[in-house]
Structure 1
Amino acid sequence: MNPLLLILLGGPVAIGTPVLVARALVEGHADRTAAAIRQAHAEPTPALAPRPAPAARKELTAR
């Protein structure tokens, strides 16, 4: 295989893999911790609520 191709593909993979693994570990920990806190305080799991509609924009007029 072409060494240049290995370098060009290997660099982003070597840099990106630890970041993706760390992100997955952090998100999993946050989910488990939030669930444990909700359970300890007997709070219901929040439902996914739709986003509120954006406020109407005022038109700017030059005076």
Structure 2
Amino acid sequence: MVGLIFLFIIIALLFFIGAVHYLKLANTTNSYPPKRVLRKRAMTLAAGGAVSLLFSIVFYYIQ
């Protein structure tokens, strides 16, 4: 069970790192995908990170 919790925390961390990366790209002046597309990707990754972190918290309290 500890391994599953650790896996979800690592996945959440990767999602949040990806979201920060896309937000940084959205703030540059010249980026190929439009800024709204980059912001949408960042929000999607942040939502995935939040869900993964929520699963890890739920599994931690079930344990």
Higher relative contact order (CA 8 A, sep 6+): 2
Rg (Cα) greater in structure: 1
TM-score norm. by structure 1 comes to 0.45
TM-score norm. by structure 2 comes to 0.45
